[in-house]
Structure 1
Amino acid sequence: MNYSKSSYYCGNDSSYTKCCEIAHRDITKVTTAEQLMRSRYSAFVLANGNYLIDSHHSSTRPIKEKKSIVKWAKSVQWIRLDVIKTTNGLANDNEGTVTFKAFYFENGSVQVIHENSLFKKEKGIWMYVDAL
């Protein structure tokens, strides 16, 4: 899929520059767990390894896997993100979950990551913890 700044990765109606790029430039601007989830999906599309690591909770941060994560993200063709359900994870919460499906094309077929992700605030900033 060929993305431009006028089309959008994470499924929101806004352009990348008006949505996830803001998070990618300053993670403190992320106000909900869902917003972080969407910005992480966009980071996978863009193979932005720094953001993927920086938005990962320190207790589960895969620093040693950064190169392999970026390599894999570049090797697949990202199709779309469907957010199915969010539980808590609003600005005043400290924890929340986001259930999503991330579709991508790999080795000649469509694949899907279907996950219920846990997000927690760390020092007041939303972070991805792990799949539940």
Structure 2
Amino acid sequence: MAKRRRETGGGACPCGTGAGYDECCGPLHRGESTAPTAEALMRSRFSAFARGDARYLLQTWHPSTRPGELTLDQGQRWLRLDIVDTGGGSLFEAGGEVEFKAHYRAGGRTGTVHERSRFTREDGRWFYVAEA
């Protein structure tokens, strides 16, 4: 399993909100708080990919679809996240979907993952379920 690149760190959060990492996704990654919405969880998961945090990705993956382990490609650099659309996933809902474009660079080439993901909330915590 891949190891986390950094525990904490200043600078802009990779998720694209414009906030600093230590105020944005950092508390989620460190277990100090949980994502309040499906979109916030999606953003924090993108940041975890960008920072190489496989532990957080597995923790926020629903047990019904979670793989036994996760190996991240260390040669892939996640550049930017664009949220395209959301459906549900608010503070008061038990499910939601987030459509996004995640831009990356690997092997000297750029690419984009365009996906609509499903999320569920159980016991007040959001989890990634699967591609919708």
**Is the TM-score greater than 0.5?**
yes
1:91 counterpart residue number: 91
Higher helix share: 1
- Any unmatched runs of 5+ in structure 1? none
What is the DSSP-based 3-state SS (H/G/I as helix, E as strand, rest coil) of the residue aligned with 2:126?
Answer: strand
1:50-61 maps to which residues of 2 (within 5 A)? 50-61=55-66
Shift of 1:122: 2.4
Aligned residues: 124
* 1:123 equivalent in structure 2: 123
Return the offset for 1:28: 4.8
Q: Distance in 2 between matches of 1:28 and 1:6?
A: 20
How does the TM-score come out when normalised to structure 2? 0.88
* Structure 1 partner of 2:78: 78
Provide closer, same or farther for how the CA distance between residues 27 and 112 of structure 1 changes in structure 2, counting only shifts above 3 A. farther
- Going from structure 1 to structure 2, the CA distance change for 1:27 and 1:121 (only over 3 Å counts) comes to farther
Structure 2 CA distance, aligned partners of 1:101 and 1:49? 20
Aligned equivalents of 2:53, 2:68: Cα separation in 1: 13
2:48 corresponds in structure 1 to 43
The amino acid across from 2:98 in the alignment is V
Contact 2:37 2:89 in 1 (8 A): yes
Across the aligned residues of Structure 1 and Structure 2, the Cα RMSD in angstroms comes to: 1.4
TM-score using structure 1 length: 0.88
Residue identity opposite 1:59 in structure 2? S
**2:109 counterpart residue number:** 109
Q: Which runs of 4+ in 1 moved over 6 A?
A: none
Identity of aligned residues (%): 38
Q: Deviations over 1:17-61 (max 9, x none)?
A: 001011112275210000000000000011101100000001000
